[in-house]
Amino acid sequence: MTSTSSHPSEPALDERTRELDRAHVFHSWSAQGAISPMPIAGGLGSTVWDHAGREYLDLSSQLVNVNIGYQHSAVVAAIQEQAATLATIGPAAGNLARGEAARRITDRAPDGFSKVFFTNGGADAIENALRMARQHTGRDKVVSTYRSYHGNTGGAVVATGDWRRIPNEYARGHVHVFGPYLYRSEFWATTPEEECERALQHLRRVVECEGPASIAAILLETIPGTAGVLVPPPGYLAGVRELCDAHGILLVLDEVMAGFGRTGAWFALDHTGVVPDLITFAKGVNSGYVPVGGVLVSDHVAATFDDRVFPGGLTYSGHPLAAASIVAALDAMEAEGIVEHAARIGSDVLGPGLADLAERHPVVGEVRGLGVFWAIELVADHATREPVAPAVVARAKSELLARGVLPFTVDNRIHVVPPCVVTAEEIATALGALDEVLGLLDADL
């Protein structure tokens, strides 16, 4: 995908973008001296391009959030119309766009959710969900998993389990456990049933040893995303729900990455039948067109604050531009059958295609996922499941970019997470590029 016919070719702007970025932009999770950003000048659907006109099929959805695709005309028009009508208003005022956005979100939530607390993104959605849980229960501790990412703010990053937590451990009351991950089981499990049973027993024992009456919430990504698209085995989330109910602990499900079409359902929890007490969401709700996040608050938790002040708030909570983008995005996803399309692409095209790659390429240890939410785990040895070295993943990324495919890579994995609007033809192109690149990696084993 290197055609330049449909876009202006201004390569000097690519270098100008890099110069300005290196001079003035401080990047997240990076050593600043090593940064050479990839310029992106525009996008449409599942494709982006640079100023020189080079096109890339986006298998990353940027940060796994451009669910509706780039530059959806209805969402862009809604933002423009709202900006012309009322560009900003504080959260204490009533605003029609905000109310309509909240209604559309609650309409797609499980029964028993009538309220939304809007935030600016996923991290502060986690912060406020944990605040609600602590206020509601009068308890302090939060249990989450080591293989997780919940955001970069004070409590969210400590709830996170991966390496980013360690230099940032300033929040109190956080406890971590191992969640289910059969391919690299911490529990010597050999079947999904064993992994489920033993992971639940591990969680149960941690809760007992920490003191159930001290635990406000168990916080889980419904499907851990950055940690590897770790679809939980059947029965695991139901078992966590049962454990929470037994001890008066709130269950908080983080749907920031997995929600709003990513798994082929409105929420990933829809696949399980499990209803939590709080649901966090963010970028997928409007594909990141305007920063926004929020907490879906169950009715019984919301009732806690009918006569008690909720001690939290944000200047831009329910910002009208964000709200308008949510209304337009969810209406368009409904009208165009985008969630159902993501489910079909996953079950009929992407899932089978990735399974075929796994069968033919020794470097692939496992593929797993749902909808347009997949990961390819790369190994140096099938028997030992030793992960490939970082240099191997760096080569895979470089080779995919050279073939016009923009990947999302984490640790020893290539995550295949295109927009929900990706076509079967685009998936065929992506699978062809992956096939070539995996063949190169096989040759080096």
The arithmetic mean of pLDDT across residues 358-369, rounded, is: 98
Same domain, 282 and 393: no
Same domain, 301 and 187: yes
Q: Spell 149-161 as b/e; 16+ CB within 10 A means b.
A: bbbbbebbbbbbb
Same domain, 259 and 324: yes
Structure confidence by residue, pLDDT tens digits, 237-296: 999 999 999 999 999 999 999 999 999 999 999 999 999 999 999 999 999 999 999 999
Task: Tell me, yes or no, whether 195 lies in a domain.
Answer: yes
What confidence tier does 29 reach under pLDDT thresholds 50, 70, 90?
confident
| Amino acid of residue 55 | E
Task: Tell me, yes or no, whether 5 lies in a domain.
Answer: no
Same domain, 92 and 15: no
Task: Tell me, yes or no, whether 51 lies in a domain.
Answer: yes
Task: Tell me, yes or no, whether 6 lies in a domain.
Answer: no
Same domain, 99 and 245: yes
Same domain, 67 and 77: no
What confidence tier does 4 reach under pLDDT thresholds 50, 70, 90?
very low
Domain boundary pick from 286, 315, 335: 335
pLDDT surpassing 60 at residue 426: yes
Same domain, 198 and 214: yes
Task: Tell me, yes or no, whether 2 lies in a domain.
Answer: no
d(C-alpha 394, C-alpha 411), whole Å: 10
Same domain, 178 and 238: yes
Burial label for 175, CB within 10 Å (0-12, 13-18, 19+), is middle
Domain that holds residue 249: 73-335
Q: Which residue from 367, 390, 419, 411 is spatially nearest to 60, judged by alpha carbons?
A: 419
- Residue with tokens 């069968």, as numbered in its chain: 359
d(C-alpha 389, C-alpha 398), whole Å: 15
**Per-residue DSSP letters for 108-173?**
TSPTTEEEEEEESSHHHHHHHHHHHHHHHHS--EEEEESS----SSHHHHHH--SGGGGGG---SS
pLDDT surpassing 60 at residue 224: yes
More confident residue, 6 or 413: 413
Q: What end-to-end distance do the CA atoms of the chain give, in Å?
A: 29
Same domain, 311 and 372: no
Domain total of the chain: 2
Q: Please, what is the average pLDDT of the chain?
A: 96
303's CB contacts (< 8 A; 6+ apart) are none
Same domain, 101 and 207: yes
Measured CA angle at 401 (ends 396, 407), to 5 deg: 65
Q: What is the CATH number of the domain that holds 414?
A: 3.90.1150.10
